[in-house]
Amino acid sequence: MNTTARIVLLVIALVVLAPAAGMLILAMPAFGHPLSQYGDVVNALAPRLRNISNMVAAVNFDIRGIDTLGEECMLLAAVTGTVMLLRGHRGEDMSERAGRVPGRKQPSRSDATVLLCRFIATVLFLFGIYMVLHGTVTPGGGFQGGVIVASSFVLLYLGESYRAWRRIVLGPALAALEGTGALAYVLAAALPLLGGYAALQNVLPLGTWKDLFSGGLMVAVNYAVGCAVIGSFGVLLLEFMEETRAPENDPVPDEEDE
Amino acid sequence: MNPVQLLPVAVLLPLGLAALLLAIAHWLPPRLADGASVLASLGLVALCGWLAVQALHGPVVHWFGGWTPRVSGRPDVVLGIGFSADPMSAVVAAFCALLFALSFIFAWGYFDKIHAHFHVLMLLFMAAMIGFCLTRDLFNLFVWFELMSISAFALTAYPLGRSSLEGALNFTVTNALASFLMLAGVGLLYARTGTLDFLTMAKVIARIAPDPVITGGFVLVATALLTKAAIVPFHMWLADAHAVAPTPVSVIFSGIMVGLGLFGVLKLTAQVFAADAQVLAMVHGGLFALGIATALTGGLMAWAQRHLKRLLAFSTISHLGVMLTAVAAVSATGATGLLLYLIGHGLVKGALFMIAGILLARRNSVDELALHGQGRTLWPVGVVMAVAGLLLGGLPAGSMYAASDLIHESAHSVALMFVLIFAASLTGAAVLRAACRIFIGCSGAPGVEVTAPTERGREQADRPLWLMLLPCVLMIAIAVLPVDAVAPFMGRAAALLLQPDGNAATAIASDHVTLGSFFALALTLALLAASLMRERPTRRFARRVGRVERLPFDALQFLHSGLVTDYVAWMAIGVALLAAFLG
């Protein structure tokens, strides 16, 4: 079909849908008047039952923790899928050492860049770790902190050369971190079953309210998510960097060309 | 251990194994991942099957973190997420795991180069499907739905050739759009009912229905599920994705993933929206009509294909349409039919995709015209393919036949029942036609299929034939088993899905053969004979007939353009259709 036909179809659909959407919007609960008591109940119960001060973390890691495990696995699937596709038929064969395109210039970094990157990367790394550690007390947590830690790797690449970066950032280690983090989350869900509790039951000591280590099992799960996210984003960066290297020696397999 | 304690293991085991394999993928001997995946899948078959039996006396319910509805201290406020295994959900979950086990056996050694990454994605995929079957929380359902999509996207695109990229992109765009719609629908339903738990939401809906927000929420969620289930006009991605996905992945797609969408529609309609007359009316009328349209479109398109994987994909669409008419009945008869059809069709279609995979590995093609007579030395494969084709076309044996009987019972009229039979016969005849051409070498002049899109392809060929054929034979063997032994259990399971209190009437499936049950088979064989005895049109009148015959197929082929923008426009039309059914 050509563009006009497509637009005609779309317009017909929208014309039919408009009155239905209108009715729906008019029947919605008014703005600022949620019908659910969910938030109130969580705010009332979570500090009492779990000694936790960050309600978002309480919902994410404890009350609806199995959702978060699913979302964690989505990240895992997305990263694993990306890695599998980018590697294609290559497998892991070539990725042990840093490659170099013959003839490509490798400009050296200025001292200012190196200094600035080393400084900011360190601060960013520590800030990310801080973010992960405080997940159960203040906004942030494993997901956000993990991404920040992984972004410090990019600065390392910017400041050092690709070759040096590859020596610092080890692919298998990152993949292991990713898998171990996810496995720790699954174990946090599964191990309480052995003691006759529900899956993901918060069986660890809960700590004191507003303390860094309050929330019991949530602390462990939060760290696990942090590890998995650092690993995932690290692996992702590494694979994208690998892709920019010597594409002509490593063609995308294509049935038509074979 | 009691069933309540073991219920979450059904999801945690595959997730845990996937994480473990990922962590040690770099150092792992390749065969170990294969073996562990097969064992884990078989373990899940046993676990989910056992749960299904345990759930006969009432659903097995597990609240994660111990957050039972009582904790909140208020009525209608459910804080946590529950899993609830009723017998039918558990049987469907067990069937998912069975297909994965067979698919892992078929894929033995196929994906050595990418280490265990294939297994990681497949295990996540399996966990998502099982979670989808067992959850009783609407947002949690969305999470598993989305995890299913994400792992499927990557698996389709492997090994990232040009055509696999196109197919996977169409799949990704349409299904990601479906996910957005589902999320919006979940948002609407939550905003109006204040809860995500199925049973609590059903209570609230019974109180406030009919309500435009509830209906709108249902339409959006149903759109997403129908997109996954490849129902006209949301179906176009399926043929593109199935045609390019690696065989072990196609087996899962056609065997169970698309069917899960329909199962989701039935489960939500029965357990959440049963009290909403407006929604029920739309399901009875609108979804039934879409089912008929899907069956016919899929059947005709399958008939007009020459690329075996595309042919099978369109045949899947056709049979999904048949299943949707069973869903639309929202009755014990329909649900029993759906359950048996899901299993029977999944096994047959899985086996057929594996046969296509064997041809890809051994003959580097799946084009029935290009492979003319080239399968003679692979005759055992041909025998299995012929039996599978006959089963699709209505051979009176096994679970598919027993299920069709029940499904035809819920058809609104004899004419519509005939449409369903005709569509299924078209798919069976198309498969048999391809089998005759490839494995015997007999053929008439090619008909409408000659202009269908095709391409060469190949898959890794280093696996022994018996290893690839073994899972096919197993699947066909299970598919032709008499259903008498399991029919009462399946009927009870379907009734319990509709009414957990056990008050629903039970439909007993039966595969007893009468003279009338050969009608579908006769139609299939007639279609096959017509295509094999076809002669090149030489006289002017014959040519004119041929041109008229081509017209509907050309029109359908034109609509299935392979352009994702078209698909999205059709999806918009589909949502509008659902809205129009509401009146």
From A103-112, B139-148, B491-500, the region with the lowest mean pLDDT: A103-112
Higher pLDDT: A86 or A217? It is: A217
Residue A8 tokens read as 């005609």
**Is A245 a residue whose pLDDT tops 90?**
no
SS3 A160: coil
Alpha carbon distance B251, B29 (integer Å): 25
- What is the identity of the amino acid at A162? Y
Q: Above pLDDT 70, what percent of chain B?
A: 98
Higher pLDDT: A99 or A34? It is: A34
User: Given CB atoms, is B131 within the 8 Å cutoff of chain A?
Assistant: yes
**Is B532 a residue whose pLDDT tops 90?**
no
Q: ∠ at Cα B493 (B490, B499), nearest 5°?
A: 145
Query: What number is the average pLDDT over the span A112-140?
Result: 92
Higher pLDDT: B372 or A32? It is: B372
Q: ∠ at Cα B568 (B564, B572), nearest 5°?
A: 165
Q: What is the mean pLDDT of chain B?
A: 91
B64 and A80 in contact by Cβ < 8 A? no
A154 is in which domain, residue-wise? 53-87+109-245
**Beta-carbon count within 10 A of B505 CB:** 11
Indicate whether A64 belongs to any domain: yes
Q: ∠ at Cα B315 (B314, B321), nearest 5°?
A: 95
User: Number of folded domains in chain A?
Assistant: 1
B150 and A78 in contact by Cβ < 8 A? yes
Q: What is the pLDDT of residues A137-164, one digit of tens each?
A: 888 888 999 999 999 999 998 888 888 8
**pLDDT recorded at residue A100:** 62
**Is A252 a residue whose pLDDT tops 90?**
no
Reported as a pLDDT band with limits 50, 70 and 90, residue B17 is very high
User: Given CB atoms, is B154 within the 8 Å cutoff of chain A?
Assistant: yes
**Beta-carbon count within 10 A of B516 CB:** 9
Give the start-to-end residue ranges of the domains of chain B. Answer: 1-136, 164-582
Q: What is the pLDDT of residues A229-241, one digit of tens each?
A: 999 999 999 888 8
SS3 B375: coil
What residues are paired with B63 via a beta bridge?
B82
Q: What is the pLDDT of residues A181-191, one digit of tens each?
A: 999 999 999 99
Query: What number is the average pLDDT over the span B283-290?
Result: 94
Residues of B in contact with A181 (CB under 8 A): 19
ipTM: 0.91
Alpha carbon distance B213, B219 (integer Å): 10
Q: Are B435 and B389 in contact (CB under 8 A)?
A: yes
Q: What is the pLDDT of residues B203-212, one digit of tens each?
A: 999 999 889 9
Q: Which of residues 27-56 of A touch B (CB under 8 A)?
A: 27-29, 34-38, 41-42, 45, 49
Residues of B in contact with A86 (CB under 8 A): 160
**pLDDT recorded at residue B448:** 80
Q: Where are the beta strands (DSSP E) in B64-116?
A: 82-85
User: Given CB atoms, is A18 within the 8 Å cutoff of chain B?
Assistant: no
**Is A95 a residue whose pLDDT tops 70?**
no
Indicate whether A225 belongs to any domain: yes
Indicate whether A228 belongs to any domain: yes
Q: What is the pLDDT of residues B105-154, one digit of tens each?
A: 998 877 776 678 899 999 999 999 999 999 999 999 999 999 999 999 99
Q: Above pLDDT 90, what percent of chain B?
A: 67
What residues are paired with B83 via a beta bridge?
B62, B135
Indicate whether A211 belongs to any domain: yes
pTM of the predicted model as reported, rounded to 2 decimal places: 0.94
Q: Write a three-state SS string for B295-345.
A: HHHHHHHHHCCCEHHHHHHHHHHHHHHHHHHHHHHCCHHHHHHHHHHHHHH
Q: Are A41 and B72 in contact (CB under 8 A)?
A: yes
SS3 B83: strand
Residue A195 tokens read as 């003691």
Alpha carbon distance B563, B372 (integer Å): 30
Q: Kind and range of the H or E element at B62? A: strand B60-63
In terms of C-beta density within 10 A (0-12 exposed, 13-18 middle, 19 or more buried), how is residue A108 classed? Answer: exposed
**pLDDT recorded at residue B188:** 94
CA distances, B384 to each of B221, B244, B306, B470 (Å): 38, 23, 19, 11
**Is A96 a residue whose pLDDT tops 60?**
no
**pLDDT recorded at residue A98:** 63
**Is B354 a residue whose pLDDT tops 70?**
yes
**Is A102 a residue whose pLDDT tops 90?**
no
Q: What is the pLDDT of residues B54-86, one digit of tens each?
A: 999 889 999 999 999 998 888 888 999 999 999
**Is A201 a residue whose pLDDT tops 70?**
yes
**Is B444 a residue whose pLDDT tops 90?**
no
Q: Kind and range of the H or E element at B293? A: helix B288-303
Reported as a pLDDT band with limits 50, 70 and 90, residue B381 is very high
**pLDDT recorded at residue B506:** 81
**pLDDT recorded at residue B505:** 74
Query: What number is the average pLDDT over the span B7-25?
Result: 95
**Is B295 a residue whose pLDDT tops 70?**
yes
**pLDDT recorded at residue A89:** 59
Q: Are B197 and B136 in contact (CB under 8 A)?
A: yes
Higher pLDDT: A213 or B201? It is: B201
Q: What is the pLDDT of residues B498-524, one digit of tens each?
A: 988 777 778 888 878 887 788 999 999
Count CB pairs under 8 A between chains A and B. Answer: 259
**Is A248 a residue whose pLDDT tops 60?**
no
Alpha carbon distance B479, B199 (integer Å): 34
User: Given CB atoms, is B581 within the 8 Å cutoff of chain A?
Assistant: no
Q: What is the mean pLDDT of chain A?
A: 85
DSSP conformation class of B538: -
**pLDDT recorded at residue A258:** 32
Q: Which of residues 179-208 of B touch A (CB under 8 A)?
A: 188, 190-195
Query: What number is the average pLDDT over the span A185-208?
Result: 92
Reported as a pLDDT band with limits 50, 70 and 90, residue B347 is very high
Indicate whether A204 belongs to any domain: yes
**Is A3 a residue whose pLDDT tops 60?**
yes
Q: How many residues belong to chain A?
A: 258
Reported as a pLDDT band with limits 50, 70 and 90, residue B438 is very high
DSSP conformation class of A249: G
Indicate whether A40 belongs to any domain: no
Q: ∠ at Cα A43 (A40, A47), nearest 5°?
A: 155
Higher pLDDT: B425 or A35? It is: B425
Q: Which of residues 53-72 of B touch A (CB under 8 A)?
A: 62-67, 71-72
Q: Are B181 and B578 in contact (CB under 8 A)?
A: no
Alpha carbon distance B81, B68 (integer Å): 8
Q: Which of residues 412-471 of B touch A (CB under 8 A)?
A: 455-458
**Is B217 a residue whose pLDDT tops 50?**
yes
**pLDDT recorded at residue A255:** 38
Higher pLDDT: B479 or B502? It is: B479
Residues of A in contact with B367 (CB under 8 A): none
Q: Are B39 and B32 in contact (CB under 8 A)?
A: no
Reported as a pLDDT band with limits 50, 70 and 90, residue A249 is very low
Indicate whether A66 belongs to any domain: yes
Of B16, B161, B579, nearest to A17 by CB-CB distance is B579
From A32-41, B63-72, B109-118, B341-350, the region with the lowest mean pLDDT: B109-118
Residues of A in contact with B457 (CB under 8 A): 255
**Is B187 a residue whose pLDDT tops 60?**
yes
